[in-house]
Amino acid sequence: MAQLITPAELDCLVRSGTVRVLDVRYRLDRPDGSADHLDGHVPCAVYVDMETELSWHGRPEDGRHPLPATADLEAAVRRWGIHDNDTVVVYDDDRALGASRAWWLLTRSGVADVRLLDGGLRAWVAAGLPLESGPVVPEPGDVSLTPIAEPVLSIDEAAAFAASGVLIDVRAAERYRGEVEPVDPIAGHIPGAANLPTGAYMDGERFRDAESLRELFASVGIAEGVTAAAYCGSGVTAAQAVFAAELAGLRLGIYPGSWSQWSNTPGRPIATGAAPAEVTASV
């Protein structure tokens, strides 16, 4: 179950030394957040790199941020100083997009207590709490991870998903409609997918309340008992929708290959426009 923690609550844990904090700053236009981390971060926070630790890179048809192998993720998590039964708090400075990816990978790999800083780094600063500069290099941990147990959609499963459930595309509306595509080779969306952009789940840097989130998901047909999954550009920001869904008492799967995999795979149909199923072209 998704959990939020306030800056004041995190400050207490940091002062008592009973928490592992992860700084997962990442943006599409600035994927390397290490310099920002060095300038200032929550005390004891370890920098986590999206490109090399929360994903791996292969061929274009694998997508831009495929899920890391369990052994590789475990090695990274131990480098962050995490032990079994640790309380872990993750944060970033951009709508919980990077932090949600870390939360999803950790919780689905067997780390039981992973929380997300409500409001991110901006809320920490706004609360008047201190920042620390420079690198944080903890003693290695010995956590043991397990392979992700819940369903993770393949490209073929994503193609068939709309026939049996609700598939949502969480990219910006103009990318979904196919009007612009700043990163991937073709614009548009997976036929049958509805659009529910990342910003819709948030009020600034904070998640909306549970009732508002339930109403938001209901607007595209997602309710308790409905099979549903999310995708985005490269599998990173879809995790934010999963976190929001859990706050609302709902469950979402993920298609991690997302649009970056779909648009690089020959023969896949492409839909454009505001309607979910207007097939207009193929890759």
List CB contacts of 188: < 8 A, sequence separation 6 or more: 177, 178, 181, 263, 270, 271, 272, 280, 281
Q: Which of 167, 168, 222, 232 is catalytic?
A: 232
21-to-32, 115, 195, 213, 230 alpha-carbon distances in Å: 18, 10, 33, 27, 27
List CB contacts of 237: < 8 A, sequence separation 6 or more: 97, 100, 101, 170, 171, 198
Q: Is 80 in contact with 114 (CB distance < 8 Å)? A: no
Please state, in angstroms and rounded to a whole number, the distance separating the CA atoms of residues 238 and 102. 12
Look up 232 and say whether it is catalytic.
yes
Query: Which two structure tokens, joined as six digits, stand for 140?
Result: 């290695």
Cite the active site residues: 232
